[in-house]
């Protein structure tokens, strides 16, 4: 048996309490019997149940509970007023059709009866909306706080793993060996390589609690990384950039692009006898920012590196930062190329 949702449970309890309260006052303070009291009350409660349900659908359809608090207050009053007139019109019309009107009400026009009924209904619907908006505001605040805590925790975890990934003995060993080979052969290039290595390590350690960083800054780190790798791979590593300058100020998760490029080198280029190509693309498409890393190679199920700081973490970070507005996929572009594509919302949209 399907469990009754909390919304419908609250609706049934609320309108049942409404009927019980009116019945209590009817028996305690009435001055004379009302022939159609019970049928009119239950009809009014049923109308209220239907109207408030459609009011909820109206609120959800327009996304009013997602608006800033200041705007929510405005819509709380305006929505209550709108549906107070709808509720009043339906109640008055049904009372007229069913013949439940009292003698005094028969002397008023439909417009006057609707206005009088709406003035009494407005406060009731305002309280209903106040409870509904407050409930969702509290739930949303808790969810936002939880997401923020999860993001901060993940950023700290990623920071530690990023630092570990870049100062692990294998990376340092390869980089220093490449630099040592250049000391006598090309001292100038050796000095540049030391600067590049320093930039990468500094960037890793300065990541701290950053949620996003400009693409241009990330791209500079990636260029330093690829320059170091080019010393090791020489002509086996070819690099191409296709960067729209307008995307350089777009926010991206720190070290994300470097992770994708490192994955392309480790699982793609290093496994090819003749090496291959790494191509980095950044462009706007369909109101989104696309960041793409293509490399020579084939997936073969390799989507994460050995120390766990891989593509799964990239996907998790995107979801926490941008929600459903971002996506990530890695696939074989063709028989010789692999493509890792990140889609993010454009800053300010």
CB 125 within 8 A of CB 55: yes
CB 319 within 8 A of CB 326: yes
- pLDDT given for residue 281 in this prediction: 95
Listed as ranges, residues in the chain with pLDDT below 70 are: 1-4, 31, 99-108, 154-172, 174, 203-210, 301-311, 348-349
With b for 16 or more beta-carbon neighbours within 10 A and e for fewer, the 280-304 pattern comes to bbbeeeeebbbbbbbbbbbeeebbe
- pLDDT given for residue 339 in this prediction: 93
Q: Domain locations in the chain? A: 6-145, 168-345
Q: Does domain 168-345 have CATH number 1.10.3720.10?
A: no
- pLDDT given for residue 307 in this prediction: 42
- pLDDT given for residue 67 in this prediction: 80
Question: Residues 240-294: pLDDT tens digits?
Answer: 999 999 999 999 988 788 888 888 888 888 888 888 999 999 999 988 999 999 9
- pLDDT given for residue 33 in this prediction: 72
pTM for the model stands at: 0.50
- pLDDT given for residue 308 in this prediction: 40
**Tokens 């086996």 found at:** 236
């Amino acid at each position: 048996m399907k469990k009754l949702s909390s919304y419908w449970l609250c609706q049934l309890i609320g309108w049942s309490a409404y009927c019980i309260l009116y019945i209590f006052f009817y028996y305690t303070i009435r001055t004379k019997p009302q022939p159609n009291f019970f049928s009119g009350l239950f009809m009014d409660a049923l109308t209220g149940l239907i109207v408030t349900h459609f009011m909820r659908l109206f609120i959800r359809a327009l996304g009013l509970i997602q608006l800033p608090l200041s705007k929510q207050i405005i819509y709380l009053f305006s929505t209550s007023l709108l549906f107070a007139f709808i509720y009043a019109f339906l109640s008055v019309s049904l009372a007229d059709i069913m013949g439940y009107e009292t003698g005094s009400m028969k002397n008023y026009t439909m417009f006057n009866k609707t206005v009088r009924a709406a003035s009494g209904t407005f406060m009731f619907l305002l309280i209903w909306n106040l409870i509904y908006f407050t409930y969702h505001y509290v739930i949303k605040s808790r969810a936002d706080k939880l997401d923020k805590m999860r993001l901060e925790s993940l950023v700290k975890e990623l920071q530690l793993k990023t630092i570990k990934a870049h100062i692990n003995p294998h990376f340092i060993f390869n980089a220093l060996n490449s630099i040592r080979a250049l000391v006598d052969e090309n001292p100038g290039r050796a000095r540049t390589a030391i600067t590049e290595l320093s930039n990468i390590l500094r960037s890793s350690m300065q990541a701290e609690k950053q949620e996003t960083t400009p693409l241009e800054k990330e791209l500079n780190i990636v260029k330093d990384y690829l320059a170091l790798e080019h010393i090791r791979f020489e002509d086996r590593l070819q690099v191409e950039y296709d960067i729209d300058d307008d995307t350089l100020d777009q926010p991206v998760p720190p070290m994300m692009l470097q992770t994708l490029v490192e994955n392309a080198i480790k699982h793609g280029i290093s496994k090819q006898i003749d090496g291959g190509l790494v191509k980095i693309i950044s462009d706007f498409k369909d109101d989104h920012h696309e960041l793409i890393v293509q490399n020579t190679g084939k997936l073969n199920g390799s989507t994460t590196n050995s120390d766990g700081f891989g593509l799964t973490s990239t996907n998790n970070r995107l979801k926490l930062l941008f929600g459903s507005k971002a996506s990530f996929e890695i696939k074989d572009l063709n028989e010789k190329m692999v493509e890792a594509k990140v889609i993010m919302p454009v800053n300010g949209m």
